[in-house]
């Protein structure tokens, strides 16, 4: 799994960049109509889910690790599709969709981090990202009436922090890709 993630570090980088772009756009234009917010979130959840499914399907790690990634990805895709199918849903329903998505993807991220703890150092980046996702989801579910502007800012901050963590992990894995590749082929470089 580590070798696969190291070779495909760029997928995590793209996920991180997408999350930051989503967060910055939400901060810059908080007065967007609810319909635009729904479509923007739907696109993000869908693309994030597709990225997780691709990693899970093309990975060479244990089937359990790939299964968790794919399940989280399928859930993200479903939430994204639901937001496109029902764009006229109320703000309250959107809040609960987003909350459920954040809680489930956070839990799957933590499970993946725990399973990878023997293969990578500093898996705490994934654990913190997953815990942050769960906390955001729980907050949104507990206080759905805090207002659309607060929701937009909360989602934007969450997306930016989550994106930064994924970019950090991707860059760390990028540095490991040559070491991991060299280690798996059995060749070593001498100086």
Domain count, the chain: 1
Residue 190, domain member (yes or no): no
- pLDDT for 190 equals 38
Residue 187, domain member (yes or no): no
- The C-alpha atoms of residue 191 and residue 183 are separated, in whole angstroms, by 16
How many Cα atoms within 13 Å fall on the side-chain side of residue 31? Answer: 0
* Residue numbers of the domain that contains 31: 2-181
Model confidence over 65-124: pLDDT tens digits? 778 888 989 999 998 898 888 766 656 777 788 889 889 999 988 988 888 777 777 778
- pLDDT for 187 equals 43
- CA distances 174 to 12, 65, 77, 119, 121, Å, are 10, 20, 26, 15, 14
Is the pLDDT at 181 greater than 60, yes or no?
Answer: no
- pLDDT for 146 equals 61
Model confidence over 43-56: pLDDT tens digits? 888 999 998 898 88
Neighbours of 96 (CB within 10 A): 16
- pLDDT for 34 equals 56
| Non-local CB neighbours of 28 within 8 Å, separated by 6+ positions | none
Residue 191, domain member (yes or no): no
Compute the mean pLDDT over every residue in the chain, rounded to the nearest whole number: 80
Q: Which among 172, 163, 110, 165 has a CA at the least distance from the CA of 135?
A: 110
- Please, which pLDDT band fits residue 154 given cuts at 50, 70 and 90? confident
Taking the CA atoms of the chain, what radius of gyration do you get in angstroms?
A: 17
Residue 90, domain member (yes or no): yes
Q: What is the CATH number of the domain that holds 32?
A: 1.25.40
Torsion of CA 40, 41, 42, 45, to 10 degrees: 130
- pLDDT for 188 equals 41
Q: Which among 137, 125, 135, 119 has a CA at the least distance from the CA of 164?
A: 125
**Tokens standing for 121?**
């150092």
Residue 59, domain member (yes or no): yes
Q: What percent of the chain has pLDDT over 90?
A: 16
Residue 189, domain member (yes or no): no
Residue 61, domain member (yes or no): yes
- Please, which pLDDT band fits residue 185 given cuts at 50, 70 and 90? very low
| Non-local CB neighbours of 176 within 8 Å, separated by 6+ positions | 2, 6, 120
């Amino acid at each position: 799994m580590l070798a696969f993630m190291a070779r495909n570090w760029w997928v995590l980088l793209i996920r991180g960049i997408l999350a930051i772009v989503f967060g910055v756009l939400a901060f810059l234009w908080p007065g967007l109509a609810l319909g635009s917010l729904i479509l923007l979130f739907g696109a993000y959840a869908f693309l994030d889910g597709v990225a997780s499914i691709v990693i899970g399907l093309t990975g060479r790690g244990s089937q359990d690790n790939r299964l968790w990634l794919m399940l989280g990805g399928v859930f993200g895709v479903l939430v994204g599709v639901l937001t496109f199918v029902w764009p006229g849903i109320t703000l309250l329903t959107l809040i609960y969709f987003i909350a459920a998505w954040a809680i489930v993807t956070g839990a799957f991220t933590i499970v993946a981090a725990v399973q990878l703890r023997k293969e990578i150092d500093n898996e705490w980046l994934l654990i913190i990202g997953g815990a942050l996702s769960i906390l955001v989801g729980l907050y949104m579910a507990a206080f759905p009436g805090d207002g659309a502007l607060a929701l937009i800012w909360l989602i934007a901050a969450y997306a930016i922090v989550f994106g930064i963590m994924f970019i950090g992990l991707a860059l760390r894995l990028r540095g490991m890709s040559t070491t991991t590749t060299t280690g798996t082929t059995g060749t070593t470089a001498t100086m």
